[in-house]
Each structure stands twice: as C-alpha cells, then as structure tokens.
Amino acid sequence: MGDTETQGETTPAPLTGGKLIFAGIALALANFVVVLDTTIANVSVPHIAGGLAISPTQGTWVITSYSVADAISVPLTGWLAARFGTVRWFIYSLIGFGFFSMMCGLSGSLSMLVFFRICQGLSGGPLMPLTQTLLLRVFGQKRSGAAMGLWAMTTVCAPIAGPILGGLISDNWTWPWIFFINLPVVGLCIFSAVRFVTPFETKKAKVGIDVIGLILLVVWVGAFQLMLDTGREHDWFSSPFVVAMAVIAAVGLPAFVIWELGEKNPIVDIKVFRHRGFSVGTVAVALGFGAFFASVVLTPLWLQSVVGYTATEAGFTTAFVGVFAVLMSPIAAGLVGKVDLRITVSLGILWLGIISLLRAGWSTESDFWHLAMPQLLQGIGMPFFFVGLTALALSAVKPSETTSAAGIMSFVRTLCGAIGTAMATTAWDSAGRVSRSDMVPALNGVADTMTRMEAGGLSTEQARGAVDQLVEAQASTVGATHVFMMAFVIFVFAAAIVWLAPKPRGKIDTSAAH
C-alpha cells in the first residue's frame, strides 16, 4: 500500500497488523491515563488531606486545579500541533505529563501539589484531542469507526477505573502512588509513539498565536477558580483577596470575549456561538456536566468522611456508574441521525436528575446497595447526555468550524466540572453548618444518652464527643442531600434548555468531538 495524497500533504498509508495494534493501544492508553487523572484523586482526597495536614475541602484543590489547567490548554492544541507537529507535540505532552506526575507524588505541601497538578493538567490537556486525531490517521478513513470506538471506550472507562484504582492504592500503599503509576504507562506510550506513530507526523507551520487572548483566558479563568476555591476558607466577600479575584474575573471575561471577537486568529473562536444550536448545546453541557461532576466528587468524600467507608469501598461503590455507561454507548451513538436528538438528550439529562433525586434519599444508615444502585442506574443516561449533546451542538455549526466548536465544548465541559466541584463542596459545607445550628437546639434526651454512655465506661468528655460526632454526621448528610437536590433542579433546567435548539438536519459528524 503506497502513500496517499491528502490536501496537498503526503500521508502514509494506515497501519495494519501488529503495528496497528501497538500504535492503537499506545494512543488509547495515553487518552486513558489523562482522563483517569480527573477522577483517580477523588477518593484519595481524605488521604491526601491527612498526609499534608489540610482539610478535605482544601484537598479538592487537587482535583479542580488539574481540571482548570486541562481546560485552559485544550484551545492551544491546534496551534501547538501546527507549530511543532502533531506527533512531536503528542510526545512532548506525554513527557511533561509523566514528569509532573512524578513531581505530584513527591510533593510535601498543598501549594507544591497544586502547582504540579496545574503543570500536569497543562501538559495533559492536549493529549485528548491529539490521541483522537492520531488514532484517525493510523487507522485510516475506512476504519475510522473502530478508531473512534476505541477512543470513546477509553474516555468512558477511565473515569470508572479512577475511583477503584485511587481507593486501592490509597488504602494499600500511599497516596503519592496514584501519580507514580502514570510513569510506566507514559513510558510505554512514548516508546510506541516513537516506534510506530512518527511516520504520521504533520508538517510544521509558522502560525501566529493570539498572545493577548491566551493571557486574558488564563487570567479570568484562574481568578474565577481561585475565588471559588478560597472563598469558603476566607468567608467569601469579607476577604479582600476573594473580592479582588472576583473583580479580575468579572472584568477579564468580557475583555476576553471582546478581544477574541476582533482577533483574526483567535485562540477561542467565539463566533461559533452565533449558531443557536451550538449555544444551547454548550449551555446545557455547562449546566449538566457541572452538576454531574459535582456528584462524582462529593459522593466519595461523603462516604469516607461521614459514613466511614475506606477509599477502596468508596471507589467500588462509585465505580458501578460505568457498567451501563459502556453498554449504552453504542446505542446512544447509533441513534444519532435516526431520531430527534433533542428527545434522547433531554431524556438522558432528566434521567441523571432522577438519579440525583435518589441520592437525596441517602442517610448514614444506608446499606451498600442503597448507595451503589444510583451509581449503577446513572450509567444508563450518561451516553445520551455526552454523545447526544455533543452531536446536537456540533450539527449546528459549519463543517469548517467543527474543530473549533468541539474544542470550545471540551473547554466548557472541563471548566464547569471544576466549577461544579468547588460550588458543591462550598454548598455542602454551608448547608451542613446551617443544619447543625438547626439540630442542636432541637435535640432531645441528650442528658439521658450521655448518662448511658458514661455508665458504659465513657468519660463525660468522651460521651460529649460521641454525641457531637453523631450530630456532625447527620448535619453533613443533610448538607450532602441538599446539594443533590440542587443538582436535580439544575439537570431539569438543562433538559428544558435543550428544546431551545433547532431540530438537527442532515448528516451529523462528531469525529472532531473531544
């Protein structure tokens, strides 16, 4: 099989046999490990918090810092690939991801860990779209369906494996190993990429970069996330620092939008929002994924800090979400173009809302299956939300705008996951404190309970501590159910918004989605 000519550039023939297997596994693994790191730390937050002597809510910075950095780097992928070559930048990103994974594991303070998580996210962000692009090149046009199936499978399975691996590693080794395990995987991916994928390198081009747009993007996103992450610890707007971050974000966002609208080569093509279907789809993604990821983070935190689950138990409980997600993904993809996507997408989002309502019925007395069942059932709606909503939004833009639009959706999805996490942990903390202040005056029989405890051998202080711990657990649980109720409302709103999009017409291409 000889070389083929594509758009003026010589492209090698697709790989076959063992070479295709090795290259495909390497590219899929690279995507897997980057997505894995969005959830592997979720169940490990209490371990990290204990190891670094910080609060669990501060520990969530480890999750949000990675997500925000990952989101910021995605819009840069196109420019970086054009400037340095797709394969070359893929390898550079892998090297950076591996190095900063090692540095995360070696960190001895929260500030160090957050800094290296940011660097890890900046390195890993381009890997998702780059693996998708390279898989399509090595598999070739005729096998593009298999390439996208492999990519989608790793994207769906990685968040499932994250909590399980994170729990097993944290309980049986130490939390730094959740980062160290990336190193052999990255090494294998680099070797296979150098050996089999380098023939698919793209030509380098001296393309300009929107420096001012990039600076504005980093400034407003960073300020906004700092406001969310530090606000809870500093009583929000009573802190001059939080107020300053809010002002910077409030000024930076419109400045960024205005600049990008007037830029010839914008880092984010804001103009695609002129398409109503894309705008509606992006808003629905922002709301839905924010609510979805908030529950992904909050559930294992509550299970460990209140119910008393180990990280491993919390990991297995939350991992059930992947069972139906994997099974339903081909069905969701198969319905694209055959039925009105607004129907399947809105039903998928409503299903996620119903599951959130089920979680609102949890208590400290809930058994394993009562806790695991919503996770299992949630997987039914996830593919219709992710696959269907992406297809709905991208069907509204011109073919030449698909890559830019897909990049924006990826940016919004990742950023809103971080925002949802910060807002959920804040709301959980606030609702828990309000609930506790309401519970304490209404307690009955405290004296009798303490007397029985003292008769059982506890000192007065120990008995008082036990009662206090019981009240704290119930208040935290009420706070968590309050957040799940809020998520239900957001899901319902997102499902309704979908119907503002026009009905998709013609062929829908999601090959640029990432």
Over the stretch 39-71, which tens digit does the pLDDT of each residue have?
787 778 788 888 887 777 677 778 778 877 887
Note the pLDDT tens digit of each residue in 304-354: 888 888 878 887 887 777 778 778 877 877 777 788 889 999 999 999 999
Beta strands in 55-164 (DSSP E): none
What Cα–Cα distance (Å) separates residue 97 from each residue in 31, 178, 201, 509? Answer: 12, 14, 20, 30
In terms of phi and psi (left: phi > 0; alpha: psi -120 to 50; beta: otherwise), the region of 169 is alpha
What Cα–Cα distance (Å) separates residue 390 from each residue in 292, 371, 440? Answer: 16, 30, 47
* Confidence bin at 214 (pLDDT 50/70/90): confident
Q: 327 — phi, psi (to 5°)?
A: -70, -35
| CB 304 within 8 Å of CB 314 | yes
**Cβ neighbours, 10 Å, residue 173:** 12
Report CA torsion sign: 104, 109, 112, 113: positive
Q: How far is CA 446 from the centre of its chain?
A: 43
Which 3 state secondary structure label does DSSP give 212?
helix
- 211-231 and 240-262 helices cross at what angle (nearest 10)? 150
Between these two residues, 504 and 117, which has the higher pLDDT value? Answer: 117
Which 3 state secondary structure label does DSSP give 67?
helix
Q: Which helix (H) or strand (E) element contains residue 9?
A: strand 9-11
Q: Can you tell me the distance from the alpha carbon of 422 to that of 290, in angstroms, rounded to the nearest whole number?
A: 10
Between these two residues, 39 and 292, which has the higher pLDDT value? Answer: 292
